[in-house]
Amino acid sequence: MTLEDRRNMVRSVLRWYRKNGRDLPWRRTRDPYKILVSEIMLQQTQVHRVMQKYTEFLKAFPTVEKLAAAKPADVIRIWKGLGYNRRALYLQSAAQMVVDRHAGTFPSELQTLKQLPGVGEYTARALLSFAFGESVVMMDTNHRRFYQRVLFGRTPRSDEKLLRMAEQTFPKRSAYHWNQALMDLGQFVCTERSPVCKLPFLEKYCRACAGVGRPPKKIPRKNTVRFRDSDRYYRGRIVDALREEGKIIDSTLERLCGDISVVRKEKIIDKLEKDGLIKRLKASIVLP
Ligand code: ADE
């Protein structure tokens, strides 16, 4: 792509976003605490589910100090419906680290952000871009797909390569809007299911649309475990019951795990305890 093409493509994407971008609550703030809450929630949960919970969560824990000082049980309770409950505890540990190590002010360097529990390369960059307005590229599945298709066509490239090329492509002075725009493009246009995009302004520049490269060989689907047969299903069931009941006695636990072996049930309980999601008492369990 020539420099001129690149400039036009970027301009078109930003124009598209101005017209079609979603008005999401975490796009109305630059508060790093609120951005972190949204990003941790969005890691494994869809936008429409996160929308309601985000507001409720921030009402309960409006500041990083409030979250840091909360009872873990209350944080776990409010996480209901989002799944992957461990994220609630990571988020609280991150808040505690910000309070204890950084006097309540979020750090603004990539490496320091990555030391916060639950914050990896992607989330650290999201904080830099969305909270601190820094000129950085980020790489969630939507960004990755966009860079891969537009810049390289169908031959798959490594994340390092994509990041390097993305850095030469993204608009340094509009990084915030660019990064948000690619989220929405990935959601509505350059979707996983539609490998050929429907927007003329993008099609013109997109190497995948032009048929460049060879698509990866079809990888046979792994034999995935049915959700109802997974440990995650039982973990969720147990934590949900605790949210309702506060405390569950061993016989209730037996019923919740009715159809699995005792050994497997014990393993699941051990892991929940190790993750800090439950506390074991004599003949019952409770939220921490
Ligand atoms: N997923 C993660 N961050 C997001 C954002 N800012 N907007 C939409 N989806 C997201």
Binned average pLDDT, 10 residues per bin, the chain of 288 residues: 90 96 98 98 95 97 98 97 96 98 97 97 97 96 94 91 94 97 93 74 85 77 82 95 94 88 94 97 94
Count of Cβ atoms closer than 10 Å to residue 143 Cβ = 24
Give per-residue burial for 228-249: e unless 16+ CB within 10 Å, then b: eeeeeebbeebbebbbeeeebe
Predicted structure pTM score:
0.93
Mutate to test the pocket of ligand 1, among 26, 178, 188 (most ligand atoms within 8 A of CB): 26
In this prediction, residue 178 carries a pLDDT of 98
Strand pairing partners for 285? Answer: 248, 280
In short, whether 47's Cβ falls inside 6 Å of ligand 1 is: yes
Give the residue numbers marked as catalytic. Answer: 39
* Region for residue 218 given its phi and psi (left: phi exceeds 0; alpha: psi -120 to 50; beta: otherwise): beta
SS3 228: helix
How much distance in Å is there from the Cα of 204 to the middle of ligand 1? 26
Q: How far is the CA of 180 from the centre of ligand 1 (A)?
A: 7
Q: pLDDT value at position 4?
A: 92
pLDDT of residue 212: 87
How many A from CA of 56 to the centre of ligand 1? 18
